Chains A and B, each alone.
Chain A
Amino acid sequence: SAVISQKPSRDICQRGTSLTIQCQVDSQVTMMFWYRQQPGQSLTLIATANQGSEATYESGFVIDKFPISRPNLTFSTLTVSNMSPEDSSIYLCSAQGTGENTEAFFGQGTRLTVV
């Protein structure tokens, strides 16, 4: 299994500002994913981040709003740009290998409140 460290664990931000969330994995992984989870709801995939290529965004999410970096096989960042109160949510990083072991493991999440 992979251990995923995500930071910050929580933050309160002013509207109009940006926050970058970092995700560090303790082993090399092919695929990393970023999810959003509204209170009491399930996980919604924002984008898939593979090392060496542009992130692939799901419907309803755009690169200008959620730029993602994936500089190597153990690290990724998600930036929430020009925040509004609607962006208040939990953001989760996930890492997944390929081949036989395809389980996805999750970080502890970043609880973001925009005021």
Chain B
Amino acid sequence: EDQVTQSPEALRLQEGESSSLNCSYTVSGLRGLFWYRQDPGKGPEFLFTLYSAGEEKEKERLKATLTKKESFLHITAPKPEDSATYLCAVQAPLLNTDKLIFGTGTRLQVFP
């Protein structure tokens, strides 16, 4: 069964304290792995797509990496505005529909 597991569930960081979020997945024929940021009361905001093991993408203080079994979202010197829930999703081909399977998310709080 296709599955996505994120850890930790919650993470509290001091401003400037770098850390990583983990997304482990089991899926048949991975088409892509997606990272989203979700602020309270809003829809998920797209961050990155990774397609193959070894791929890396960066955006400001965020860097996403991918292996054959997991992905990491590295946050370098975070700021309070980085506080949000970060969701990981994998794309699993099913017939002609490429649906996304989401993890439960990591709730990040960055304190000044």
Contact = CB atoms under 8 A, between A and B. Distances in A.
A102 B91 contact: yes
Contact of B99 (A33, A105, A108): A33
Interface residues of B, number: 23
Contacts of A18: none
B11 to A, nearest CB: 15
Give the interface residue-count category, chain A.
20 to 34
Contacts of A41: 104
If over half of A's interface residues share one DSSP class (helix, strand or loop), that class is named, otherwise mixed; here it is strand
B100 A42 contact: no
Interface stretch (B13-21, B43-51, B61-69, B76-84): B43-51
B8 to A, nearest CB: 15
Contact of A42 (B31, B46, B87): B87
30 contacts: A6-B43, A33-B100, A42-B87, A42-B102, A42-B103, A42-B105, A43-B44, A43-B87, A44-B102, A45-B100, A45-B101, A48-B97, A48-B99, A50-B97, A94-B100, A102-B32, A102-B49, A102-B91, A103-B34, A104-B34, A104-B46, A104-B89, A105-B46, A106-B43, A106-B45, A106-B46, A108-B42, A109-B41, A109-B43, A111-B41
